[in-house]
Amino acid sequence: MQKPTFDPGLTTKYDGPLLRIINPDGSFNIERRGTNWRDIHIYLQLVSIPLTHFFGVVLLAYAFVNGLFASIYFLLGPQALVGNGAAGHASERFLRCFFFSSQTLTTVGFGAIAPVSPAANLVAALEALCGLLGFAVATGLLFGRVSKPSARIGFSERALIAPYQDGTSFQFRIVNRRANTLIEPQVTVMLMAVDRSNGGYRRDFEILKLERDKVMLFALTWTIVHPIDAESPLFGKTAADLEAVQAEFVILVKAWDETFSQTVHQRFSYRYSELVWGGRFTPAFKVDEGGTLELQVDQVGAYVKETAQGLPSAPTP
C-alpha cells in the first residue's frame, strides 16, 4: 500500500538546491512576486515592520508633510504670513515656513508667525485637519503594534542528537524570554527531507513523535525530545544521510498568553548543519541559598559534547 502524502502547505515539489524553509526569526523564506499595489495593505505593513522602521516611516512622513505645506506657504509669497521672521531671504523664509507648518500641523501655534491672506488661512486650516487625522492614525498604529500579542520564545542555537534511555534522541530546548506567563505550551515538530527515489525529486514531510508534546506550565526551560526508535524516520541515519536529503526540522510552538488572554504562536527550524551529534544539554536553572529557583535564560542552549571516553567536555554556550 502506498504511503499517503502529507503536505503542510510548503509544497512537495522540488527542483534543485533549497535554502531553509523557516528563517531564524521565524519568517518563511519565501519571496513574493507578481503582486500589485492593490495587494498592499498599509496597516498590516506598518504593524508588522520592525519598530525602528516604523518610527523611521513616521519621521519621514512628518518631514514630507511639513515640507509640502512649507512649499505651499513659500509659493504664496511673503505677504501670506506675517510675524517675526516671516520675511527675509528665500532660504530663511522657507525655513520659517517649515517651522510654521510644524506648529500648525501639531496645533501648537506659538503665534510668532500667523497666516494673513485668505489662501494662507485656508491652507493652514487644511493642514491642521491633516495633523489631527494623521496623528490619530499614527497613534492607532502604535497602539496596534504594542497591543498585538506575540511570543518571544528562545530556542537553543543547536539541536542535539543525544543519549536517551537505552538509545538516542533528537532534542532541542526552549525558554520563555519574557516575564509574562505562558500556559499549556504545545509543540509540533515536522521533518522535511528530499526524496530521490523513483528517479525524481520531491520533498517529504513527516510529523515526529515526541516524548511529550505539551506541558501544563512554562516557567523554566523545556527540552523537547523525539526518541529515535525503530519507528522514527531518523532511525539508523547518520549526519551524511541527513545532509544528503537536506533535512530540516520545522517547529511550531503555540501557547496561551495569560497577559493578552489569547493564543500565541512562534516558528523555528533546525537544518542538518545545526545538529550536534553526541551532545547533552546542561541545566539552565539552579536553586539559590534561599531555596528559590533561579532561571538563566541566556543558558537555554548550553550543552556539553560527549568525548570518545564517554566523559563530557567543556560546556558550550
- Give the pLDDT band (50/70/90) at residue 75: very high
**E-assigned strands of 43-126?**
81-83, 113-115
- Residue in 155, 163, 198 with CA at minimum distance from that of residue 26: 155
Query: What is the distance between the alpha carbons of residues 128 and 287, in angstroms, rounded to a whole number?
Result: 60
Residue ranges of domains in the chain: 37-146, 153-305
CATH class name, domain 153-305: mainly beta
Per-residue pLDDT for 205 more than 80? yes
Q: How do strand 275-277 and strand 279-281 relate by DSSP bridges?
A: unpaired
> What is the pLDDT averaged over residues 77-85?
78
CB-CB contact of 109 with 103 (8 Å): yes
Q: Which percentage of the chain shows pLDDT scores above 70?
A: 88
Query: What is the distance between the alpha carbons of residues 48 and 64, in angstroms, rounded to a whole number?
Result: 22
Half-sphere exposure of 201 (CA within 13 A, CB side): 10
Per-residue pLDDT for 39 more than 90? no
Report the topology of domain 37-146: Helix Hairpins (1.10.287)
Q: Which percentage of the chain shows pLDDT scores above 90?
A: 49
Per-residue pLDDT for 314 more than 60? no
pLDDT at residue number 93: 87
Q: Comparing 34 with 142, which gets the higher pLDDT?
A: 142
- Give the pLDDT band (50/70/90) at residue 84: low
Tens digits of residue pLDDT in 234-267: 999 999 999 988 899 999 999 999 888 889 999 9
CB-CB contact of 209 with 226 (8 Å): yes
Tell me the average pLDDT of the chain: 85
CB-CB contact of 246 with 15 (8 Å): no
Per-residue pLDDT for 2 more than 60? no
Per-residue pLDDT for 122 more than 50? yes
> What is the pLDDT averaged over residues 201-212?
88
Query: What is the distance between the alpha carbons of residues 113 and 123, in angstroms, rounded to a whole number?
Result: 14
Q: Position 116: which residue type?
A: V
Residues 204, 207, 209, 212: is their CA dihedral positive or negative?
positive
Burial of 131 (0-12, 13-18, 19+ CB in 10 A): buried
- Give the pLDDT band (50/70/90) at residue 12: low
pLDDT at residue number 191: 93
- At 246, phi and psi to the nearest 5? 50, 50
- Point out which residues pair with 224 in neighbouring strands: 172
Query: What is the distance between the alpha carbons of residues 222 and 103, in angstroms, rounded to a whole number?
Result: 54
Query: What is the distance between the alpha carbons of residues 78 and 93, in angstroms, rounded to a whole number?
Result: 8
CB-CB contact of 305 with 279 (8 Å): yes
Work out the number of other CB atoms within 10 angstroms of the CB of residue 162. 22
Query: What is the distance between the alpha carbons of residues 155 and 270, in angstroms, rounded to a whole number?
Result: 10
Long-range contacts of 174-179 (CB under 8 A, 24+ apart): 174/221, 174/222, 174/224, 174/253, 174/300, 175/220, 175/221, 175/222, 175/284, 175/295, 175/297, 175/300, 176/151, 176/152, 176/218, 176/219, 177/152, 177/153, 177/297, 178/151, 178/152
Indicate the pTM of the whole model.
0.76
Per-residue pLDDT for 168 more than 70? yes
